[in-house]
Amino acid sequence: MQNFQRGFRVMFQIKTLLAVFCMFFSFQSFSQVKAPAYRIAPEFALPAIDGKILKSSYLKGSVVLLEFFQTECVNCQLVAPKLEILHLKYQAQGFSVVGVSFDKPNATVAERSQTVERFVKRYGLTYPVLLGDGAIWMNYIQKRAFSSPFVVLIDRKGMIVGQFEEGPDHKACDIDFLETHIKKLFTPQR
């Protein structure tokens, strides 16, 4: 019986160490994989919650903040009303916030729309919120997993000039930090 208990304990310790090892290395590989920030923003055409399709070409000439999020993400819930304030504050200067939801990827478009629509109403969002797919994920985020929210800034020329993932530095939720970068994009580049 003692041999069995000792064997069980050793096996449990090995499994625990293996799980910690796997989590550490998967976290390291995900956190170190960075998509190049300064590159042409890939084109997209995605459905909004109202069923209309928003094409990236409609945003041409604007400064754009793309926010990749999930409705159950606490940080996403905290930042949504702040992004709405930025959207309203700079909209007249050619600034657009566009939310891209990754809720219920295997559900129907109608089910996904209902989930996201509740979020939009709850936070009074007036900026477009789209239903994300694998193509936009791979084209913009370019890694297997990400922490929400994931923010991408695009300048008037259609270039990605910044990417900020929620994590240890909290840049994706730091509205003052994002606003500083957005304001710089309004000034003419030489």
Sorted by where each begins, the domain ranges of the chain are 1-32, 35-186
Percent of the chain predicted with pLDDT > 90: 57
Q: What is the mean pLDDT of residues 134-144?
A: 82
Please state, in angstroms and rounded to a whole number, the distance separating the CA atoms of residues 68 and 76: 9
> Mean pLDDT in the chain?
81
Supply the pLDDT for residue 3. Answer: 53
Place of tokens 């009074």: 124
**What fold characterizes domain 35-186?**
Glutaredoxin (3.40.30)
Q: According to the model, what pLDDT value does residue 61 have?
A: 94
pLDDT tier, 45 (very low <50, low <70, confident <90, very high otherwise): very high
160 by Cβ neighbours in 10 Å (0-12 / 13-18 / 19+) ranks as buried
Tens of pLDDT, residues 153-186: 999 999 999 998 887 667 888 899 999 999 999 8
